[in-house]
Amino acid sequence: MKEQSLTERLRKVREAIANSKEGVVNIKGKNYSMVGLRITKLREEFGLDIGIENIIHEHSDKKVLAECRISMAIEGSEEPMLLANGFAEKNRDQNMITKTACVEFCQTTAMGRACAGLGIIGDHNIASAEEMYGVKEGKPVNEKPEPQKDNEINDKVKAMSESGMSNEEIKQSLADDLANITKGIENKAEKLGESIAHI
């Protein structure tokens, strides 16, 4: 049986992702594949012939810079061939996700970008679902806050202020609300990740 070329094998991975019903999230009318889906389909086709290396270039109190390199062992060569890489840089104070799990978020984003560099996105977008949800306050990239939500927050702040709460108490109350919202998103993402792991 003739051995398939790298291009043919990557095409199979892309098709498997494009046809997947699981691990794909629709955000504002666009489909985004989860990084777990991309990695799962890559591993299903290549097994351990593909190497995935995660490198943390910067890990400070202010930010994290991560890189993911995807490589493949080449017969007769001591060094694996670099197929694609991806980077992710996030400020730790960007949102609750980056405050609590910045390294993990950057690693996942970098892996998704490296997969995208190989064309492993199916018929979806280069950004992963995790990336789209991992920005300011858990909102998708470029999504503007809904005015109604802003009004609700302003009304809540006004009511708290009128009730005699101090600015610090108001800030803490809003931070608690945001933490609860973020925890809910994280729980949903975790459940989705568990579903993907069972594919």
pLDDT at position 52 over 90:
yes
* Strand, coil or helix: 83: strand
Give the tens place of pLDDT for each residue, 141-160. 444 444 445 566 776 776 76
The answer to whether the beta carbons of residues 23 and 199 sit under 8 Å apart is yes
Lowest mean pLDDT among 14-18, 55-59, 86-90, 132-136: 132-136
Q: How many CA atoms lie within 13 A of 67 on its CB side?
A: 9
The yes-or-no verdict on residue 187 having pLDDT over 80 is no
Give the mean model confidence (pLDDT) for residues 127-141.
48
- Whole-Å CA distances, 184 to 16, 81, 187, 189, 194: 30, 41, 5, 9, 15
Q: What is the pLDDT of residue 140?
A: 44
In the prediction, which pLDDT does 129 show?
47
- Contact call for residues 33 and 124 (beta carbons, < 8 A): yes
Alpha carbon distance 173, 180 (integer Å): 11
Enumerate the domain spans of the chain.
6-144
pLDDT tens-digit readout, 58-115: 999 999 999 999 999 888 888 899 999 999 999 998 888 888 889 998 999 899 899 9
Residue-level pLDDT at 145:
40
Nearest CA to 135 out of 174, 99, 94 is that of 94
Q: What is the mean pLDDT of residues 151-170?
A: 71
Pick 6-144's CATH classification: 3.30.390, 3.30.70, 1.10.3470, 2.60.120.
3.30.390
Rg (CA), the chain: 20
